[in-house]
Chains A and B, each alone.
Chain A
Amino acid sequence: MSEMPASLRYARTHEWARQDEDGAVTVGITDHAQEALGDVVFVELPTVGAQVAAADPCATVESVKAASDIYAPLAGEVVEVNEALGDAPERLNESPYGEGWIFRLQPNDTAELERLLDAEGYRASLAD
């Protein structure tokens, strides 16, 4: 069974989001998602400074199997991207909630975070 830390919020499209102390939100893909994708070989990162709306496709993860869009879990401005994934895309598989994070957003409205699923809700969505 894949991991789902209770401290994170989740989107039905398999992204996780975590608000950091500086107010920005870190985004990645879930353990379930990386397992389903298989070995990740390339990540196309968003551009720092880009404005994204909730549910906008803003990154692409290419695995040995297929390409998958990564959607912004909430609206905001991209303030940082995980450049280390360029040389080490396998971090998405090895540490989806840690070194495999994809980008950080400055949210337009922090309350949007509350509309995402909690771990239990995400787990239930996988059973649908």
Chain B
Amino acid sequence: MRRTPLYERHTAAGARMVPFAGWQMPLHYGSQLDEHHAVRERAGLFDVSHMRVADFAPTLAPALRTLFAFDIARLTPGQAQYGCLLNERGGIVDDLILYHRGEAGFRVVSNAGTRERVAERYAALLPASGWSLRDDVAILALQGPAAAGIMAGLLGREVDRWRPFTGQSQPGEGEPWWLGRTGYTGEDGFEIILPATEAGGLWQRAVAAGAVPAGLGARDTLRLEAGLNLYGADMDEATLPAQVRLGWTVDLDDPARDFVGRQALETVTPITHQCGLVLQAPGVMRAGQHVRFADGAEGRITSGGWSPVLSQSIALAQVPDAADGACEVSVRGRWLPALKVRPPFVRRAPRAPAPMSA
């Protein structure tokens, strides 16, 4: 079981450590609900050093244009792009964030659960040199409405004009830090990639500045409220981007750009799609539970849980395109009414999601 550079900080803070994708990670530091609310109302601090970081030289740009389903040629230095690495069948190998770092090249952050699979794809599809896997860095995510203020204090400079989905470098003790105004919570925030040896110091300073340590438990309920997919739950290699509301990340504009999976996407039409569900009765929806509609269509929940902000159970489900009419979910042996909605469930400030018309 692998440990991140912040392992000692977590145990010292009383974290409940759990195995996750081969890593020992903090589930929570006492109360997952408190950590969730801290991120929605103030600022939370996550250790996400288990994620896969890879760097690519600028010379690999042509190869990256055919590797990913989005087109890196559209990006200017500093921009970040969320999107997918597909297989030849158009299925999602992983979802990831790519940063254009100017002359430093490109940096990609992908999931922990797919570390080996993604590295395998890089090795199979890219030239032998010009890229590297970065197992010597740590990643901290500072998220929440107070994140910008804390960040400005930590960096000693203003961050007001720093736009969402852009990144900047910051001098460190050795290799510069890379900071993205990105995240996985639906809140404003930053993801900081820095040398493993400097992670403990930054963690300590961020906590001293008011950031609340938050574990994987809160990370999951926050991303679910924000309607963000979880790889391995909501999608896998048999899932096409359009089936999980990620069609917008696929760029088909340049007909000459023959990226991996393109031919499949242009010939296969999915017959299921993703919707959000809000339970209309007491109880909690969980992944794997069945969904049925008045017209007889049946689907399945891919992620479900409790929304601390709405105080209701919410879920993402994969349902047939034809699904129509009143919806019910089988929760522990009983069919309970649910409302079909368009995610996100919570957008920055708490508000009820709009009913899905289609």
| B221 interface contact, C-beta 8 A | yes
Interface centre among A42, A60, A62, A67 (most CB of B within 10 A): A62
Give bound CA distance, A90 to B37, whole Å: 15
State which of A42, A66, A90 has its C-beta within 8 Å of the C-beta of B283: A42
B284 at the binding interface (Cβ < 8 Å): yes
B215, closest chain A residue (CB) = A38
Asked whether B306 lies within 8 Å of A62 as measured between CB atoms, the reply is yes
Asked if A62 and B284 sit within 8 Å, CB to CB, the answer is: yes
Question: A65: which of B31, B217, B282, B283 is its contact (CB, 8 Å)?
Answer: B217
User: Is A44 part of the contact surface with B, judged by Cβ < 8 Å?
Assistant: yes
A-contact 0/1 string along B287-318, CB 8 Å cutoff: 00000000000000000011010000100000
Chain A residue, CB-CB nearest to B306: A41
Residues of A that sit less than 8 Å from B by CB: 38-39, 41-42, 44, 60, 62, 64-67, 86, 90, 93
Chain B residue at minimum C-beta to C-beta distance from A93: B31
Residue in B closest to A36 when the chains form the complex, CB atoms:
B16
Say if the beta carbon of B205 comes within 8 Å of chain A: no
Determine whether the beta carbon of A42 is less than 8 Å from that of B332. no
Indicate if the CB atoms of B282 and A60 lie closer than 8 Å.
no
Q: Residues 259-289 of chain B: 1 if any A CB is under 8 Å from the residue's CB, otherwise 0?
A: 0000000000000000000000011101000
| Contacting residues, chain A, for B16 (C-beta < 8 A) | 38
Which B residues lie within 8 Å of A64 (CB)?
32-33, 217, 221, 305-306, 308
Complex CA distance for A38 and B31, rounded to whole angstroms: 7
Task: Decide if B28 is an interface residue (CB 8 Å cutoff).
Answer: yes
Closest to A43 in B: B282
Contacts of B283 in A (CB 8 A): 42, 44, 62
Q: Is the CB of A38 within 8 A of B28?
A: yes
- Tell me the minimal C-beta distance from A61 to chain B in angstroms: 10
State the majority secondary structure of interface residues on B: mixed
The residue from B28, B284, B332 contacting A41, defined by CB atoms under 8 A apart = B284
| A67 partner residues in chain B, CB cutoff 8 A | 284, 286, 332
Contacts known (A60-B332, A64-B32); A38 close to B284, Cβ less than 8 A: no
- Looking at A64, A86, A90, which has the most chain B CB atoms within 10 Å of its CB? A64
Supposing A62-B284, A67-B286 touch, asked if A38 and B306 sit within 8 A by C-beta, the answer is no
Q: Whole-angstrom distance from the CB of B229 to the nearest CB of chain A? A: 19
Q: How far is the CA of A62 from the CA of B304 in the complex (A)?
A: 12
Task: Return chain A residues, CB-CB under 8 Å to B28.
Answer: 38
| Contact (Cβ within 8 A) A39 B31 | yes
B33 close to A39 (CB less than 8 A): yes
Q: How far is the CB of A121 from chain B (nearest CB, A)?
A: 25
Complex CA–CA separation, A44 to B281 (angstroms): 12
A-B contact pairs, 30 of them (CB 8 A): A38-B27, A38-B28, A38-B32, A39-B31, A39-B32, A39-B33, A41-B33, A41-B284, A41-B306, A42-B282, A42-B283, A42-B284, A42-B313, A44-B283, A60-B332, A62-B306, A64-B32, A64-B217, A64-B305, A64-B306, A64-B308, A65-B27, A65-B217, A66-B286, A67-B284, A67-B286, A67-B332, A86-B282, A90-B33, A93-B31
CA–CA, A67 and B308, complex, Å: 16
B319 to chain A, nearest CB (A): 23
Q: Which B residues touch A41, using CB under 8 A?
A: 33, 284, 306, 308
* Assembled-state Cα–Cα distance A65/B27 (Å): 10
**B282, B286, B305: which contacts A44 (Cβ < 8 A)?**
B282
Give Cα A123–Cα B75 distance, bound, in whole angstroms. Answer: 59
What chain B residues lie within 8 Å of A44 (beta carbons)? 282-283
Q: CA A42 – CA B183 in complex, angstroms? A: 29
Q: Please name all residues of chain B whose beta carbon is closer than 8 Å to the beta carbon of A38 when the two chains form the complex.
A: 16, 27-28, 32, 217
Bound together, the chains give a CA A86 to CA B284 distance in angstroms of 14
Q: A41 vs B37: C-alpha distance in the bound complex, in angstroms? A: 14
Q: Which residue of A lies closest to B33 (CB)?
A: A39
Complex alpha-carbon distance, A64 and B36, angstroms? 11
Contacts of A42 in B (CB 8 A): 282-284, 306, 313
- Given known contacts A38-B32, A42-B282, A65-B27, what 10 new A-B pairs fall within 8 Å (CB)? A38-B27, A38-B28, A39-B33, A41-B306, A42-B284, A42-B313, A62-B283, A62-B284, A67-B284, A67-B286
